[in-house]
Amino acid sequence: MMHHPLIGTPQDRVDGRAKVTGTARYVADFETGAEVLHAHVLNSAIAIGRIRRIDTTRALAVPGVVEVFTHENRPRTAWFSSSYKDDVGPPGKPLRPLYDSSISYSGEPVALVVAESYETARYAANLVEVEYEAKPHETDLLKQLPNSYVPKKRRSGINPPPRPKGSAASALESAPVKHVARYLIAAEHHNPMEMHATTVIREADGKLLIHDKIQGVYASKQYVCSVFGLSEDKVRVVSPFIGGAFGSGLRPHYQLFLAVMAAMALERSVKLVLTRDQQFTIAHRPETWNEVALGAKPDGTLTAIRHKAIGSTSRYEDHQEAVVNWTNLLYSAPDVQLEYELVQLDIETPTDMRAPGAPLGAFAAESAMDELAEKLGVDPLALRLHNDTQTDEVMNKYHTSKELRAACQLGAERFGWRHRPFAPRSMRQGRELIGWGLAFGAWEAQMQKHAARVMLDAEGHCTVGVATADLGTGTYTILAQIAAEALGLSMNKVTVLLGDSALPQAPVSGGSWTAASAGSAVHDACARLKAELLLAAQTQRGSPLVDAKLEEVMFDRERIVLMRDPMRAVSLQAAFAAGGRPRIVADGQAGPDQLTQLRYSSHTHSAVFVEARVDEELGQVRVTRAVSAVAAGRILNPKTARSQVVGGVVWGIGMALHEEAMADHNLGRWMNHNIAEYHIPAHADIHEIDVIFAEEKDMLTSPLGVKGLGEIGIVGTAAAVANAVWHATGRRVRELPMTIDKVL
């Protein structure tokens, strides 16, 4: 009697076919008939000040233009409860588009043109005349560093730095070996394939069916209900597919507000799709400055850690990230001082971008560890392992599990780290210098409250529903695996429904928590469904399972089988016939366990090894080899999991070498707001990437033993590239991206 496991096996994406054949519908694919109006946003040309005069006459005169909304004629139905805050929103006041004449950043919407066609709306937007009264702006983080401050209110979900331990200052003073340096990471913009967009379908009864680019449909629904004062039954948000989001879709953005506002005012369906350049007006990773000081004994034992970071935010919200805590999470030291501050600039509020904060802090700290290793004359991997923590020294808790050392060993072996010559500039091939670098990384393993519903019908077909989203991460697939394995069905008997606010509630999909949380909720629903099925099977006359307990049976190949005597079994079909119901529905849930959280902290860890080749004459850097070794609890699907880590490593390479949002501080705006000038890695930039998962048993983090791995792949990668560039060239680059001018 063999049970066929699905969890832990590589499975193709269940939504893969729909995606590659174009049948998967994204926001802009909904409602393409003539009845839908098209809207286009006009964005502010100044960074801060007010609109003195706005004239829409010429735009309104264009045939096909239905309305032009500005702060002067926007409907009064729209309101903002002063307490409204989205799930992940920072303290402050969220942007209120077209609220009044004031402007807070370059790119803020100043008008919305609604027309019968997209082309008309876009053309007419050019005819809106705006006269601004500009005030002096400040968009330069480095100039504003002296004005940094500790945020008064903390952002929920983000742990501020802990209180200092001992005295890092005096420990540093007396440290026999020390390293102090500053590290800077450029602002970066999210560039998912799918642009932010909203299609609002106004139904005959006035209800709104909204398709919104969002990482969780409930976030959009709650926003619309709160901001427009609509009751819950008036709004449904359906977004089954997301063309990548990476944090840019965690918060509702202005296109949602504007599309709903127009649809309600005009009593029509409205579609609003942002352009690629407008994508640069809604979300970005904050530019972040770091200073790291490390003190050590001659044997490499750390005596002091000081890590301070200053991140940029807007004038209206205190966006916060966890940047500095990781340093002490990874490395043990008696005297520790961690600080995190903000600087307000006249820019849009930054937003979470894949592993918000962690790759910024890791770039600084993991570069600094390498620089310390150089001073100590020890191997940088040996230095890290020597100072590796056994407990979470930031929160003073035990780790639920931490197989970083095992991951590290596997990664080092695969990469061939032991063959690394100590001195920089030791390896060369033709014109290229070759260097090897590594870095550690960590990311939180979190559980969030999720509900799930599982339905099984008499034909053995199962439908799973959770309102969470699949951002391209593989959520559809892993939930199908979990349900199919639990109920003893084949994968093709399971349909997963996601991204619909009519489904059981889930928060936004982010923070790498979806697999553990939504997965555990589905697992829980399946357990309840199994209990009902067993009851039904036991009502069968002369049931062979009459005295069986749930833990004594397994569900395999559409049968309920007594494990100690596999001849005693009841088919699902027979159970249904006996139960007399056409379908069985079960609700499940999952969430954080308070008691576990009191004693334990839970993280995923990684060790990433990188080979960089640097053209000595051109300064061009190629990352020709990367091994990312990850400890992330139980791996549900090695295939989709590998893709997540590969994606993270690719992005880390982009962060290291390419990605940079450049501001023109004179104009107070982003200059390279397109993917011709904002560089992301292309296929030619990416070479071998190897992913290794270390075995890690952890039944404390989540009922499924899953930790989640959407973000860990990016965390240490940029630091590893910088360390490899140093090893190749002897040149230490402390600013990202490492463009040619910095490497030469």
Considering only CA atoms, which of 358, 153, 187, 155 is closest in space to residue 737?
Answer: 187
Dist. CA 73–CA 235, nearest whole Å: 24
Note the Cα 456 to chain centre separation in Å: 32
Residue among 286 and 511 whose Cβ is closer to ligand MOS = 511
Residue among 579 and 708 whose Cβ is closer to ligand MOS = 708
Site string for ligand MOS, 190-229 (x = CB under 6 A): -------------------------x--------------
Neighbour count for residue 618 (Cβ, 10 Å): 12
Least spacing, CB of residue 313 vs ligand MOS, in Å: 16
Residue among 356 and 648 whose Cβ is closer to ligand MOS = 356
Rounded (10°) angle between helices 514-538 and 475-487? 30
ω into 136 cis (within 30 of 0) = no
Dist. CA 319–CA 312, nearest whole Å: 8
Dist. CA 390–CA 395, nearest whole Å: 13
Contact 96, 349 (CB under 8 A): no
Is residue 86 close enough to count as binding ligand MOS by CB under 6 A? no
Of 47-55, 244-252, 373-381, 725-733, which part binds ligand MOS (CB under 6 A)? 244-252
Of 41-49, 158-166, 346-354, 437-445, which part binds ligand MOS (CB under 6 A)? 346-354
Sign of the C-alpha dihedral computed for residues 307, 310, 316 and 320 taken in this order = negative
Contact 477, 640 (CB under 8 A): yes
Bridge partner residues of 285 (DSSP):
188
| Beta-strand pair 735-736/177-185 | parallel
Residue among 106 and 512 whose Cβ is closer to ligand MOS = 512
Least spacing, CB of residue 354 vs ligand MOS, in Å: 5
Neighbour count for residue 564 (Cβ, 10 Å): 9
Q: Which of positions 507-566 make contact with ligand MOS (CB under 6 A)?
A: 510-511
Residue among 356 and 437 whose Cβ is closer to ligand MOS = 356
CA angle 355/358/362 to nearest 5° reads 140
Tell me, what DSSP letter sits at residue 550? G
Q: Of 132, 183, 246, 331, which one interacts with ligand MOS (CB under 6 A)? A: 246
Residue among 608 and 714 whose Cβ is closer to ligand MOS = 714
Neighbour count for residue 95 (Cβ, 10 Å): 21
Of 157-165, 243-251, 452-460, 643-651, which part binds ligand MOS (CB under 6 A)? 243-251
Least spacing, CB of residue 164 vs ligand MOS, in Å: 29
Of 179-187, 350-358, 474-482, 488-496, which part binds ligand MOS (CB under 6 A)? 350-358
Q: Of 250, 294, 310, 561, which one interacts with ligand MOS (CB under 6 A)? A: 250
Among 138, 444, 659, 711, the one annotated catalytic: 711
Least spacing, CB of residue 245 vs ligand MOS, in Å: 6
Q: Which of positions 381-400 make contact with ligand MOS (CB under 6 A)?
A: none
Q: Of 94, 350, 356, 705, which one interacts with ligand MOS (CB under 6 A)? A: 356
Of 44-52, 67-75, 110-118, 245-253, which part binds ligand MOS (CB under 6 A)? 245-253
Residue among 487 and 518 whose Cβ is closer to ligand MOS = 518
Dist. CA 691–CA 627, nearest whole Å: 6
Residue among 510 and 648 whose Cβ is closer to ligand MOS = 510
Least spacing, CB of residue 396 vs ligand MOS, in Å: 25
Is residue 353 close enough to count as binding ligand MOS by CB under 6 A? yes
| Beta-strand pair 583-590/450-457 | antiparallel
Tell me, what DSSP letter sits at residue 108? -
Least spacing, CB of residue 734 vs ligand MOS, in Å: 25
Dist. CA 65–CA 228, nearest whole Å: 24
Site size toward ligand MOS, by CB under 6 A: 10
* Residue 602 CB partners (closer than 8 Å, separation 6+): 399, 400, 401, 444, 445, 446, 698, 700, 701, 707
What DSSP string runs through 590-653? Answer: E---HHHHHHEE-EEEEEEEEEEEEETTT--EEEEEEEEEEE-B--S-HHHHHHHHHHHHHHHH
Q: Which of positions 488-517 make contact with ligand MOS (CB under 6 A)?
A: 510-511
Main-chain dihedrals φ then ψ at residue 123, nearest 5 degrees: -65, -50
Active-site residue flag, 711: yes
Considering only CA atoms, which of 390, 396, 387 is closest in space to residue 366?
Answer: 387
Residue among 48 and 353 whose Cβ is closer to ligand MOS = 353
Least spacing, CB of residue 507 vs ligand MOS, in Å: 10
* Residue 103 CB partners (closer than 8 Å, separation 6+): 44, 46, 47, 48, 49, 50, 51, 110, 132
Of 50-58, 229-237, 352-360, 560-568, which part binds ligand MOS (CB under 6 A)? 352-360
Contact 183, 367 (CB under 8 A): yes
Is residue 247 close enough to count as binding ligand MOS by CB under 6 A? yes
Tokens of 340: 């995190």
Least spacing, CB of residue 188 vs ligand MOS, in Å: 12
Least spacing, CB of residue 151 vs ligand MOS, in Å: 19
Residue among 107 and 708 whose Cβ is closer to ligand MOS = 708
Of 298-306, 348-356, 587-595, 664-672, which part binds ligand MOS (CB under 6 A)? 348-356
Least spacing, CB of residue 194 vs ligand MOS, in Å: 14
**Chain positions contacting ligand MOS, by CB under 6 A:** 215, 246-247, 250, 352-354, 356, 510-511
Annotated active-site positions, please? 711
